[in-house]
Structure 1
């Protein structure tokens, strides 16, 4: 098996792992009433851009090989780093879902009886779910042997992150006030000790 084929298979396994982790939380979340949301056209556009970069373009490449002109020939070392980033992404993804429990939401929602989660992986990071998605986007860039489909996740998720982080933090501050401001002062956004 070639490094290119191994990378594509690993990407598919990462997507399957992501869905297996998320599915039960998504089902549970549908049963809880949303008290306040920031969903709307802007959020829909951000999610569509991210989905295109992290799902649609790489999925088309893996299924069809298109765009063929952008194929690369990755090394085994690059694939190994991609698998390591993939493992990190899935571990972070699982830890965020476990810590959030009933407070989890796919979008910018405040649920009924919403509580500020500051335990588990949220003890040091305010947005570890975004850390997981950055690791996933990096894994995709390393695993997929295509210079369009591979980095598409970094671009797509980067746009979502840049446009969403501010509104999300404002919503949390409006909801939890001083408790969130204190939490914000003692934690990093996505990388412990750095950012």
Structure 2
């Protein structure tokens, strides 16, 4: 594994996410939104996450900037990053497939929205967040730059920290006891062992 290959894997990871997402985004747009928690806060959080998972690493891949933050490339870490990237894409695909028309990039409930508890949602409430965490870890392992490599963990970490509780409140308001029971038997982003 070389640095060039590691950078190419990162680019393929990002492209793969959009290839997976585009058909689901088009399909879900046809289902009207019945309730939304969008607003300036959501726009800021999505922008921070995009900066960390997309903008900063792409600048690094394309230009090598910021060079002062580079550290020694470790092929073994890059191989592990490649495996984590594949796991991220697989999980991302499974979440979209399970959600169907219920999917939304933001905090939205669609008309006829139903609580999805099958597929990967049987094990965790937010497997899409799990997939994003895997992307951020893969990025850190593939890109030997303290800023570009770690920006995904920071950017997505901020979005996750300020969004997941709000999303769960939205789901509790919509599904009440059904969602509370679901919360009791599943982990947020990691399956419960019990």
2:159 alignment partner, SS class: helix
Q: Normalising to structure 2: TM-score of the pair?
A: 0.97
1:148 alignment partner, SS class: helix
1:35 alignment partner, SS class: strand
Does 1:27 pair with 2:26? Answer: yes
| Structure 1, unaligned runs of 5 or more | none
Matching residue of 1:84: 83
Matching residue of 2:112: 113
Distance in 1, Cα, partners of 2:181 & 2:129: 20
Shift of 1:62: 0.7
Matching residue of 2:7: 8
CA RMSD of aligned residues (A): 0.9
Query: For 1:26-175, what aligned pairs fall within 5 Å after superposition?
Result: 26-175=25-174
Shift of 1:4: 1.5
Distance in 2, Cα, partners of 1:4 & 1:68: 14
Shift of 1:3: 2.3
| Runs of 4+ with deviation above 2 angstroms | none
Shift of 1:7: 1.1
2:147 alignment partner, SS class: coil
Q: Normalising to structure 1: TM-score of the pair?
A: 0.97
Distance in 1, Cα, partners of 2:28 & 2:61: 31
Distance in 2, Cα, partners of 1:3 & 1:10: 11
Determine if contact 2:91/2:131 at 8 Å carries over to the other structure: yes
How many residue pairs end up in the alignment?
193
